[in-house]
Amino acid sequence: MEMITKHKCDVHGFDNTPAHMAWYKQSKKGVHKKFVHIEYLISASDEEVPMALPKGHVTSYSNLEAASSGFNSNSYVTLPARSLQSIMAELRHNRVDLIKMDVEGAEYRIISQWVSIFEANKEKAPIICQVLVEFHDRLFKDGRKRKWQFFADMKTLGFQVFDVHFDGSNPDGTYTLKVPSKRFWKYPSNKYIAL
């Protein structure tokens, strides 16, 4: 909410997992009016995503391809998800200034899909200026390989890493990547999406 106050921008949040929905219903009255909560997840495509809590987690659901350590029993859900292209079309956004992505292992498929669109037709690729991504390679047996492929994919899209943050809550790190081009900063759209 600090971003809304400081930059007077819109923030769209996408999360419909059970733990998040319980938090949102309790907090709804205290949420800034420029925060728009949308009840679906972001994914590589418009789909229903089977999810569950990885063992040892109590709130952060992951898709079933993640969690090499297994899942908590009785935590399985199937949730609607949309691609970034569908979300942008629905919101009538032609670009996104900032995406904060904490999607519990789905980051690898999402970026791979963006690269496929970019390589097929650069004109139809979403315009994104900056991406903050929290990695979850610890959830995959081949997590390190996925992370390095993610960086290769982001380079294909024209992004460069300009900040890395590690803390005790996520040993895999949070990385900030941006497109090093002034053309994106000349005409700020004040449209932010938090995932």
The residue range of the domain holding 18 is: 2-40+92-194
CATH of the domain at 161: 3.40.50
Please give the average per-residue pLDDT across 150-172, as a whole number.
78
What pLDDT score does 173 carry?
65
- Mean pLDDT is lowest, of 65-79, 91-105, 125-139, 158-172, for 158-172
pLDDT digits (tens, 9 = 90+) for 112-145: 998 898 889 887 777 888 888 888 888 888 888 9
Amino acid at 84: L
DSSP track, 93-138:
-SEESEEEE--TTTHHHHHHHHHHHHHH-GGGS-EE-EEEEE--GG
Helix, strand, coil shares, percent, the chain, to 5: 35, 30, 35
pLDDT digits (tens, 9 = 90+) for 7-29: 888 889 999 999 888 888 888 77
Residue 72, in any domain of the structure:
no
Residue 67, in any domain of the structure:
no
Share of the chain above pLDDT 70, in %: 84
Residue 179, in any domain of the structure:
yes
Please give the average per-residue pLDDT across 27-34, as a whole number.
79
Residues 117, 157 contacting (CB under 8 angstroms) = no
Is the pLDDT score of 183 beyond 60? no
Residue 50, in any domain of the structure:
no
Per the structure, the count of domains in the chain is 1
Residue 120, in any domain of the structure:
yes
Is the pLDDT score of 70 beyond 70? yes
Residue 86, in any domain of the structure:
no
Please give the average per-residue pLDDT across 49-65, as a whole number.
85
Residue 8, in any domain of the structure:
yes
What pLDDT score does 26 carry?
85
What pLDDT score does 89 carry?
92
Residue 25, in any domain of the structure:
yes
Is the pLDDT score of 41 beyond 90? yes
